[in-house]
Amino acid sequence: MPRRLVVGNWKMNGSRASNASLLETLSASEASLGEGCGMVVCVPFPYLQQTSDLLAGRRIGWGAQDVSAHRQGAFTGEVSAAMLREFGCSYVIVGHSERRQYHGESSDLVGQKAAVVLEHGMTPIVCVGETLAEREADRTEEVVSGQLDSVLQRLGADIGRAVVAYEPVWAIGTGRTATPEQAQAVHAILRQQLRQAEANAGSVSILYGGSVKADNAASLFACADIDGGLVGGASLNAQEFSAICAA
């Protein structure tokens, strides 16, 4: 798994036609990906087959945006880690703030999901982030460290095989990006927490997410503890996403 990584989170967007054109353009740009850099797209479940067909043999990885914490059984509407693995997924986003906010996902559940993803040989991208009210109340560190701690409790040394994404909720889809200084400050806290928890966790990739665009990616990615990005809106535009990956 490359340490420097840009992951596109398509959210609930796409169609067979638009996916085909997006993936075709991304495939054409993969040669510009630097050594040790990875590009990944996390697509809606129904498009996993199309994505795996179109990206077969490419350097671009793919994955899902959520997974069930259960292995199998009577869980109507849920999708298991084993199923995702069958579609060739290498990555699964867990604990995105939209899941926490609209589906009431707790940090404990996020830890369970991360564990089941690892158990099936895939990499969980564990999202943490504070709301605007929490930031304004000076609670950013307490909130993100608490969210990460639940996952650390569950994974132990296996955290070394995960990716962490810091996504301040107030920056997601708002056009209001954290400044490189604001993002780096939180990444440094998370890095320190990982290092203290597990000897092998200091080198875990920590991605920044929240209104990452082609014109702000380079300054964010230049920060010492920012290893790449988790990109929502801008990942739906092939030129924009390729430019972010090139950064």
Binding site for ligand PGA (CB under 6 A): 9, 167, 172-173, 209-212, 230-234
Q: CA torsion angle for 8, 11, 15, 20 (degrees, to 10)?
A: 10
For ligand PGA, the closer CB: 4 or 99: 99
Residue 103 is among the residues annotated as catalytic for this protein? no
Closest distance of CB 138 from ligand PGA, Å: 23
- The Cβ of residue 27 has, within 10 Å, a number of other Cβ atoms equal to 17
Catalytic residue among 98, 134, 167, 240: 167
CB 61 within 8 A of CB 90: yes
Q: Is 119 a catalytic residue?
A: no
CB of 72 to ligand PGA, least distance (A): 28
Closest to 223 measured CA to CA, from 179, 193, 190, 192:
179
By Cβ distance, which residue is nearest to ligand PGA? 232
> Nearer Cβ to ligand PGA, position 130 or 167?
167
Residues 6+ positions from 97 with CB-CB distance below 8 Å:
127, 129, 167, 169, 172
Is the CB of 129 or the CB of 158 nearer to ligand PGA?
129
In the complex, what is the shortest distance from the CB of residue 213 to ligand PGA, in angstroms, rounded to a whole number?
A: 8
Helix, strand or coil, per DSSP, at residue 238 = helix
Q: Which residues are catalytic?
A: 96, 167
